Chain A
């Protein structure tokens, strides 16, 4: 087991290099660079920059170097000093920009994940055990509704109801007075007060699909002979369901952790923008539009790292819960 983990960790190193290089190339692919975008923005507001200023800006940002040199410089900065470079647009080190947003993203993502599982798994089991009952049809209808409503629409609707009907402060994750304050218990409570809305919206869409998956997994397991064996032993229906088929039906979910982590950053862009959340997704979008390459590069790198870590975690967890994988 340890050998397996060590091997997987070693494999992550070349993968990360390959992926980071690819990300760097992709970001560079569109014609022009940050300075071109910058000049275009200024030109829109009738300011003109002469060629000399542009050239000196390029030199300062190191944009004139060949791409490979830029990449090596960037990677070297990350490896030696943990320096992800400078965001051109914000005129700040990238690392200062991303970490707080990443932390909030994580809070939001974990909260909505837990909410989703807490709602979806029991409903999925219920729907499978009481297949074709009124309750099953009801939940099925609900889950298809949740699947089909676009989440930004739901976000707008809930914001309207919360703000107009209940006079709540919606949008963002903090009240204005806490936005720049340092962390305290009051700020935490404020965060919790704001968190429910995005969590609810994100949960509705993913709950729907999860219910269907759980229902299908359970339906696969329920007719298996080991369930009959357990019944023939005299176990109560609830106990045998939770101990045997449910345990096995949950296994596929562990595999999904791999793509949950990267989804944290890139998955909820639309909702985050509509609700004006200070999470990573809007910043990533903005940086890509502005060709702010170090900022965007840092995000892409993080997403990749999270994907790799996620799949490692899910593989380890799967091996822990399923002896067939661990021992064969």
Chain B
């Protein structure tokens, strides 16, 4: 760790020294945070970055002494130097003491990753904001209510007088996080701890929330401890960066140094993996160009999928060539997941056709067929899901999970099945000796490999991958993407790759379709769409992606796409009520 901080005239706001936070386990002590030291200057932003399990969240929670039981601070000090000159060691306070409770919410406030579940579902937003004001500022009910309305206005929630009496589930994702911020800033804290506050949000919403935090930070003169796994965000907002891995600090220094002169190999790997997403994969560049004259394996024509009044898919037409990777990109609610599921015929489409060309050249319409014909087609169309934890049955061994398609289709059994499972596991880079173990014994990346093995079991021709790498850490993400591309070449697969992450799309897709509110607004070569798109929505989407370079912080080039208003669209907007802004 390098010590580059020059001694400032003032004491830093928060000094953490040799912090150890541990969790007692049956097998011994697990040190989630191990001998960590850093400090935060007044008004500055420190980004703590790391992959899952790096201990960055536990660090944040240790500061406020709200580590989930049975975790506890074992040693070290957390000195808070408040503006009035007092210093407190937070590590010495009892987690339930009045002293620490007075600091929580007043001097140090915190916002969390999941704005929906972090707000109570049965209390109004106003109730939860006024509570802090009444607790710490000793305001009367009316004063607190007025102040809460004022706060909601500051975080740019429209109609704060009405919004204050609404519930969290009546807000959109971005508005919920705004309400959380309003709640955290209610008592004008000197330090805001933000634990992955934008991870659950779309890029355009993320950009707005980051702007909001930056603006309020300036006007309140507040320091921010920002926890994230996204190096792009770090580059955009950090003054200093702390890189964590397995509970220890790998590198600590100013943002410029971390990005342009990283010392530690782990930091280099993190930065490298982000930069890798800025261009197409090497394996792909080396591949001979696709035969674009071939007849498409799948042709979607005028596909519509309505749920009541919601048009999840609205007249979508797109085709997929054999061996091609077609990316579908869009924000939440754009209909990209519906598209994947409609192609799998998990829904009955409202209109349109999906023409699938079988290996023997005959064509079936997936939108119309049923019974045996559909069953047969589904063997050749498989799916890989987003959540590597939820998509595997925890009570089935890996061999059962992978072998199930063969078993239920009556293709193989016994020894033959076992051999095929081993072969599949080797193909996706897993050790077949682990096949009798259960999914919980595997890491996220390994589980996603299991999901992929299950998808290729029946030798499919098309695989629909719905956000297949979104839940994975960057370092693992590439391994899975590279695996998918290797399998594509080996098995002549065509992919429909659904993602919200333009970087992933650019890395592995041949062509991209951009979805917006159920419509396909742009289709084209990946290179073109990801770098010089034609449609204003795609341009706005690209402009909102945080660039992983601290020297490139021009916020002015970012803009938000406003749909040309038509009466029809206006009415659906009001009905959804999700994007009030």
- Residues of chain A touching chain B, judged by Cβ–Cβ distance below 8 Å, are 223-226, 228-237, 243-244, 247-248, 251, 321-324, 327-328
Minimum CB–CB distance for B239 against chain A, Å: 24
Enumerate B318-345 residues with CB–CB distance to A below 8 Å. Answer: none
Residue on A with the closest CB to B135? A234
- The answer to whether A234 and B169 touch across the interface, beta carbons within 8 angstroms, is no
Q: Which residues of B contact A321 (CB under 8 A)?
A: 122
Q: Give A244 to B123 CA distance when docked, in angstroms.
A: 8
Q: Give A83 to B555 CA distance when docked, in angstroms.
A: 81
| A229-B112 contact given A224-B117, A236-B101, A327-B167, CB 8 Å threshold | yes
Q: Which residues of B contact A235 (CB under 8 A)?
A: 101, 131, 135
- The answer to whether A232 and B104 touch across the interface, beta carbons within 8 angstroms, is yes
Q: Which residues of B contact A234 (CB under 8 A)?
A: 101-106, 132, 135-136
- The answer to whether B66 and A226 touch across the interface, beta carbons within 8 angstroms, is no
Starting from the known contacts A233-B104, A233-B135, 10 additional A-B residue pairs (CB-CB under 8 Å) come to A226-B117, A226-B119, A226-B121, A229-B112, A232-B64, A234-B102, A234-B103, A244-B120, A322-B122, A323-B121
Minimum CB–CB distance for A2 against chain B, Å: 20
Residue on B with the closest CB to A226? B120
Q: Which residues of A contact B104 (CB under 8 A)?
A: 231-234
Minimum CB–CB distance for A244 against chain B, Å: 5
7 CB < 8 A contacts A-B: A231-B104, A232-B64, A232-B104, A234-B136, A247-B122, A248-B120, A323-B124
**Taking the complex as formed, is B96 at the interface, i.e. its CB lies under 8 A from any CB of chain A?**
yes
Enumerate B118-146 residues with CB–CB distance to A below 8 Å. Answer: 118-124, 131-132, 135-136
Q: Which of A228, A233, A236, A251 lies in contact with B132, CB distance below 8 A?
A: A233
- Residues of chain B touching chain A, judged by Cβ–Cβ distance below 8 Å, are 61, 64, 66, 68, 96, 101-106, 109-110, 112, 114, 117-124, 131-132, 135-136, 167, 169-170, 180, 183
Q: Give A229 to B118 CA distance when docked, in angstroms.
A: 6
- The answer to whether A324 and B121 touch across the interface, beta carbons within 8 angstroms, is yes
Minimum CB–CB distance for A315 against chain B, Å: 16
Closest 6 CB pairs of A and B: A234-B104, A234-B105, A233-B105, A225-B118, A232-B110, A234-B101
- The answer to whether B117 and A225 touch across the interface, beta carbons within 8 angstroms, is yes
| A228-B112 contact given A234-B102, A321-B122, CB 8 Å threshold | yes
- The answer to whether B132 and A225 touch across the interface, beta carbons within 8 angstroms, is no
Q: Which residues of B contact A251 (CB under 8 A)?
A: 122
| A232-B105 contact given A225-B117, A248-B122, A322-B122, CB 8 Å threshold | yes
Q: Which residues of B contact A228 (CB under 8 A)?
A: 61, 66, 68, 112, 118
Q: Which residues of B contact A243 (CB under 8 A)?
A: 123
For the residues of A in contact with B, the DSSP-based class is helix
Minimum CB–CB distance for A254 against chain B, Å: 12
- The answer to whether A328 and B169 touch across the interface, beta carbons within 8 angstroms, is yes
Q: Give A236 to B105 CA distance when docked, in angstroms.
A: 12
Q: Give A261 to B260 CA distance when docked, in angstroms.
A: 72
Q: Which residues of B contact A226 (CB under 8 A)?
A: 117-121
Minimum CB–CB distance for A252 against chain B, Å: 13
Q: Give A234 to B187 CA distance when docked, in angstroms.
A: 11
Q: Which residues of A contact B132 (CB under 8 A)?
A: 233-234
- The answer to whether A237 and B96 touch across the interface, beta carbons within 8 angstroms, is yes
Minimum CB–CB distance for B308 against chain A, Å: 14
Q: Which residues of A contact B122 (CB under 8 A)?
A: 247-248, 251, 321-324
Minimum CB–CB distance for A274 against chain B, Å: 42
- The answer to whether A324 and B167 touch across the interface, beta carbons within 8 angstroms, is yes
Q: Which of A228, A231, A233 has the most CB of B within 10 A?
A: A233
Q: Which residues of A contact B101 (CB under 8 A)?
A: 234-236
- The answer to whether B109 and A232 touch across the interface, beta carbons within 8 angstroms, is yes
Q: Give A226 to B121 CA distance when docked, in angstroms.
A: 9
Minimum CB–CB distance for B96 against chain A, Å: 6
| A225-B114 contact given A236-B101, A244-B120, A323-B122, CB 8 Å threshold | yes
Q: Which residues of A contact B118 (CB under 8 A)?
A: 225-226, 228-229
Q: Which residues of A contact B106 (CB under 8 A)?
A: 234
Residue on B with the closest CB to A238? B96
- The answer to whether A324 and B112 touch across the interface, beta carbons within 8 angstroms, is no
Q: Which residues of B contact A328 (CB under 8 A)?
A: 169
Minimum CB–CB distance for A230 against chain B, Å: 8
Q: Which residues of B contact A231 (CB under 8 A)?
A: 66, 104
Minimum CB–CB distance for A226 against chain B, Å: 5
Q: Which residues of A contact B124 (CB under 8 A)?
A: 323
Q: Give A247 to B131 CA distance when docked, in angstroms.
A: 16
Minimum CB–CB distance for B487 against chain A, Å: 37
Residue on B with the closest CB to A229? B118
Q: Which residues of A contact B112 (CB under 8 A)?
A: 225, 228-229
Q: Give A225 to B120 CA distance when docked, in angstroms.
A: 9
Minimum CB–CB distance for A319 against chain B, Å: 12
Q: Which residues of B contact A229 (CB under 8 A)?
A: 110, 112, 118-120, 180, 183
Residue on B with the closest CB to A237? B96
- The answer to whether A324 and B96 touch across the interface, beta carbons within 8 angstroms, is no
Minimum CB–CB distance for B36 against chain A, Å: 20
Q: Which of B105, B109, B120, B180 has the most CB of A within 10 A?
A: B120
Minimum CB–CB distance for A1 against chain B, Å: 16
Residue on A with the closest CB to B114? A225
Minimum CB–CB distance for B554 against chain A, Å: 34
Q: Give A229 to B195 CA distance when docked, in angstroms.
A: 12
Q: Which residues of B contact A324 (CB under 8 A)?
A: 121-122, 167, 169
Q: Which of A228, A244, A327 has the most CB of B within 10 A?
A: A228
Residue on B with the closest CB to A247? B122
- The answer to whether A223 and B68 touch across the interface, beta carbons within 8 angstroms, is yes
Residue on A with the closest CB to B117? A225
Q: Give A248 to B119 CA distance when docked, in angstroms.
A: 13
Q: Which residues of A contact B103 (CB under 8 A)?
A: 234
Minimum CB–CB distance for B75 against chain A, Å: 23
